[in-house]
Structure 1
Amino acid sequence: AAAVAVWTAFALAGADIAPGARFAASRAVDTVAATSSRTVAALREQAAFEQARRADPFRDVPAEELLAGLDGKDVVIAFVESYGRAAVEGTTFSAGVGRVLEDGGRQLERDGYSARSAFLTSPTFGGVSWLAHATLQSGLWVDSQLKYDQVTSTDRLTLAGAFGAAGWRTVADVPSNGAPWSVGASFYGYDAQLNARNVGYRGPAFSYARVPDQYTWKHFFDRELAAPHEPVMAEIDLVSSHTPWTPLPELVPWDELGDGSVFDPQPSRGLSPAEAWSDPKTVQRLYGESIEYSFGAMFSFLHEHDQPGLVLVVLGDHQPARIVSGPDAAADVPVTIIAQDRAVLDRIASWGWDEGVRPSPDAPVWRMDAFRDRFFRAFGAE
């Protein structure tokens, strides 16, 4: 740094130095200028982020007013791991996913549900899911670990926090976690946290996914929704579609789930990650099958467990890795709201979202940080 400063001083002063040295000085000045420019830009970005955090239009609004349109409803935000726009359009596997969504959508209609869908632009791509979760819940663009650490150390109002303040029991169901999640308590304020170690699962892991999505839905229902209860708000992370997408679980009869040991024979039926990842086409196929499984489990759950008071927000956290989504894919993820009560969907009619559970290529696209504020406005006291 001292050498750069010396070269810079000579160059700026117009000193008579050797041609080679003059070139070195020029390079040094360029390096300093580029570094300084990046530093200034980063500082400005952090300052703008902090300003946005402090300027919260809903900070002082009573929580019960923010969520009056959902009074008495159970509200679940379900993140489907790696569920990106690539899953629903323009890829070799999107047709298969589309068939599952369309068949599931028709079953939902027969069961009395309606749905609206669109896209959200995620702040992350191919991983780092917690940035997307924080963005959706806080209404801030959390696109780096630095911003995540910054916002989660504050009292920024989140969706979970607002529901909790308004009287809902709040639950985080994160089957990828093996221990209590400190941020879940300190920032989101969840009343209860479910993870791989406290849901009674005794079956096998499926690579990253310690607990199959089907079991996650069943255990959550049995614990939180089956008996008469006060309204529940939950974030559920559905991780069966997490990379490496092999081996994948298969659906089993709901009354045979038990402690999950029914899944014991299944992992050996799939390819190992090493085998699968030797061929990009195989990886892409398995990714599509993982999304089909995740939505198949969700649709089957909603069919088997009638819940007229449920409002389900299901969305992706980010696109899958480039090996699957392609080199030019944008960061968009599908988002769908499902409910039996048509009054819920009437509240979001002005959003212009597509009917059904599969957004069209022309469906609206919002940045993910816009969702919290629009949600509060849609379901606030009229």
Structure 2
Amino acid sequence: MPVFTRSRPSPDLKEPEDAAAGVREAEEGAEPGAAPRTLRARVAHWRAWRSRYPRAARGLWWTATVLSAVLVLGALLLPNRLDALQFNRFTRLPGEAILGAAVLPALPRRPRMAVAALAGASLGALTVLNVLDMGFVEYLGRDFNLVLDWILLDDAQSYVADSMGGTTAFAATVGVFLLVALLVTVTALATVRLAGLLARDTRRATRATLISGTAWITCSIVGLQNAGVPVASYRVADTVVNEARQVRTTLKDEAAFAKEARTDTFGATPPAQLVPDLRGKDVIFTFIESYGRSAIEDPVMAPGVGETLETGTRALAQAGFQARSGWLTSATFGGSSWLGHSTAMSGLWVDTQQRYRTVMASDHLSLTKAFRKTGAWDTVGIMPGVQKRWPEAEYYGLDNVYDAFEMGYRGPKFSWSTMPDQYALEAFQRLEHGRERDRPLMAEIILTSSHQPWAPIPTMVGWDELGDGSVFEGIEKAGKDASAVIDDSAASREEYGRSIQYSVTALTQWLERYGTDDTVLVFLGDHQPIARVSGNDASRDVPVSVVAKDPKVLDKIAGWKWTEGLKPAHDAPVWKMSSFRDRFLLAYGSTPHPSEG
């Protein structure tokens, strides 16, 4: 035969049925019998395999087709809320799929593949965005912001490293990147496959598209629902519109907020007219991590936390202290504590990372900086959660900041928290509050033992036994492991309540032990705990208390109508956290002198 006279098979090919494949591979420049190296050779190899194993090939074809359809339809219908992951969400008619089925078969082959691949990759990216929304709603009570929130992913990685170790964080980061790349790629391939199937039989595809389109329009007009969910879906289109609106709103907000930050009610107030009614007092502002309304009112947590607050109120009263308490509505939820801190101290509503950067770069007077501006106070910060350079100290007006490495702690970490609150407070007493000084002290203290995942939790030890913190070694080892709590809602609620009890006890015992006639303590929560603990419909309220021995200090805020003691009543006044700075400055004699940028 002519074919054999032109190109004889290699003697290495021992099976006759491999001869044709060997000829094709040789013509493509491949070694006889080696794996196919070119696309044409691979296609020929696949066709040869399919002809030898038709049943297996058909099963594989159907499996790939069904999985492609499930993946694409699932991505089109996927909600962006964990509590919405229900079966009825995936039994809807996606209008975007019908539109794609109408457009793609009409395109030439190469443009069709390109458009399908781009649409599939975009759908994969949208799926990632939906998952991010789920996580952000669960942990921060809001959707992921495409413009501002990418930096928070780095913070999430740092949180995992601090809580569960660097190796776990690295493995999780690599795994997430690979999973995202795989999802985008597979979704693109699945869309290309479905587009090819539609183009293979345009008559059937057109008929099915017309039927589906008619059904979608009918369901949309009559408002047909399945278990309360509309059958006609335009989930992807709606998401794209909402994201575009959010991006536009974010960009406009950036310029508007920058202008707002340049205007300050007390920006031009002379130093002598700032907080004159607190002169001579040691004023201490303390934030308790995740100390929210849920800790006081949730049925699981409230009994223990309530008893701790009542015990603390009685003990402080015996030491001569009185307290008044109310509620503030935080600008953040579940995390991003720095947004709560900056909102309370700046008097501005700081609910995004961009707003935070704007405030930190501004001259807007912080509540703590007002004390330094007077020249009548030494100002310090106790920041056990800070483990790297912290330029924000300048905005807050802190002359000296003690971070996680500057308080002499040699004991174990408690998950994310670098040291127990009791030790941080004792270090503050040793390093600053207990020292002889020419001027009173203004301090900002951030307590971190109630930071999630709330395991292990430290316990109180004798104040004289604290030393360098080594006493906590056995306590940390005997505590619960974070992995046993972090995914268990019931356990998280219980441990969260215990952590708040610990933090409040450490703070009130410190005040009882070291407070003086001139000590004024203001303590508050920065935000509510995550939704898994506080609930999906929880408010953003946090408790705030003012404690002092001098009755004149509390008389100044009598008009606030706050509750007596450390536990605010359910119906105690609720203010936006951003209003606290101005109310505090006015209550203690500050005179407004607005500045306009």
TM-score where L is the length of structure 1? 0.89
Deviations 1:54-102 (A, max 9, x none): 2211110013312101001111110000000000013311111000000
Q: Does 1:89 align with 2:297?
A: yes
Partner of 1:198: 406
Partner of 2:256: 48
Return 5+ residue gaps in structure 1 as ranges: 1-18
Partner of 1:232: 441
* One-letter amino acid of the structure 2 residue matched with residue 301 of structure 1: W
Contact 1:64 1:165 in 2 (8 A): no
Query: 1:63-212, aligned counterparts within 5 Å?
Result: 63-167=271-375, 168-185=377-394, 187-212=395-420
Note closer, same or farther for the CA distance 1:36–1:246 as it changes in structure 2 (3 Å cut).
closer
Note closer, same or farther for the CA distance 1:33–1:252 as it changes in structure 2 (3 Å cut).
closer
How far apart are residue 184 of structure 1 and its match? 1.2
SS in 2 for 1:265: helix
* One-letter amino acid of the structure 1 residue matched with residue 270 of structure 2: P
Provide the aligned C-alpha RMSD in A: 2.0
Partner of 2:552: 343
How far apart are residue 49 of structure 1 and its match? 1.8
Cα distance in 1 between the residues matched to 2:300 and 2:241: 46
Note closer, same or farther for the CA distance 1:37–1:204 as it changes in structure 2 (3 Å cut).
closer
Partner of 2:535: 326
Contact 2:409 2:469 in 1 (8 A): yes
How far apart are residue 38 of structure 1 and its match? 3.5
Deviations 1:231-258 (A, max 9, x none): 1111100000000111111111111111
Contact 2:262 2:362 in 1 (8 A): no
* One-letter amino acid of the structure 2 residue matched with residue 81 of structure 1: E
Cα distance in 1 between the residues matched to 2:373 and 2:434: 23
Q: Does 1:271 align with 2:512?
A: no
Deviations 1:310-352 (A, max 9, x none): 1111000000011110111011100000011111111111111
Greater shift in the superposed pair: 41-50 or 172-181: 41-50
Query: 1:213-292, aligned counterparts within 5 Å?
Result: 213-229=421-437, 230-292=439-501
Cα distance in 2 between the residues matched to 1:268 and 1:286: 16
Partner of 1:376: 585
Contact 1:180 1:195 in 2 (8 A): no
* One-letter amino acid of the structure 2 residue matched with residue 94 of structure 1: A
How far apart are residue 107 of structure 1 and its match? 0.8
Q: Which has the higher helix share?
A: 2
Contact 1:180 1:193 in 2 (8 A): no
Partner of 1:16: none
Partner of 2:118: none
How far apart are residue 41 of structure 1 and its match? 2.8
Contact 1:179 1:197 in 2 (8 A): no
Cα distance in 2 between the residues matched to 1:278 and 1:32: 31
Cα distance in 2 between the residues matched to 1:309 and 1:381: 19
Note closer, same or farther for the CA distance 1:32–1:258 as it changes in structure 2 (3 Å cut).
closer
Equivalences, count? 359
Greater shift in the superposed pair: 159-168 or 44-53: 44-53
Cα distance in 2 between the residues matched to 1:371 and 1:156: 15
How far apart are residue 35 of structure 1 and its match? 5.7
Contact 1:206 1:247 in 2 (8 A): yes
Note closer, same or farther for the CA distance 1:111–1:35 as it changes in structure 2 (3 Å cut).
closer
Deviations 1:296-316 (A, max 9, x none): 111211222232111111000
Cα distance in 2 between the residues matched to 1:328 and 1:30: 24
Cα distance in 1 between the residues matched to 2:305 and 2:266: 38
Note closer, same or farther for the CA distance 1:193–1:94 as it changes in structure 2 (3 Å cut).
same
SS in 1 for 2:474: coil
Note closer, same or farther for the CA distance 1:41–1:357 as it changes in structure 2 (3 Å cut).
same
Cα distance in 2 between the residues matched to 1:252 and 1:48: 50
Q: Does 1:365 align with 2:574?
A: yes
SS in 2 for 1:227: coil
Deviations 1:245-292 (A, max 9, x none): 111111111111111111111111111011123432111110000000
Cα distance in 1 between the residues matched to 2:237 and 2:584: 49
SS in 1 for 2:436: coil
* One-letter amino acid of the structure 2 residue matched with residue 96 of structure 1: G
Partner of 2:129: none
Greater shift in the superposed pair: 220-229 or 284-293: 220-229
Cα distance in 2 between the residues matched to 1:39 and 1:213: 40
Greater shift in the superposed pair: 48-57 or 114-123: 48-57
Cα distance in 2 between the residues matched to 1:298 and 1:55: 35
Contact 1:211 1:240 in 2 (8 A): yes
Note closer, same or farther for the CA distance 1:135–1:345 as it changes in structure 2 (3 Å cut).
same
Note closer, same or farther for the CA distance 1:32–1:262 as it changes in structure 2 (3 Å cut).
closer
Deviations 1:8-64 (A, max 9, x none): xxxxxxxxxxx967x9xxx99988865664344334433432232122111100133
How far apart are residue 130 of structure 1 and its match? 0.3
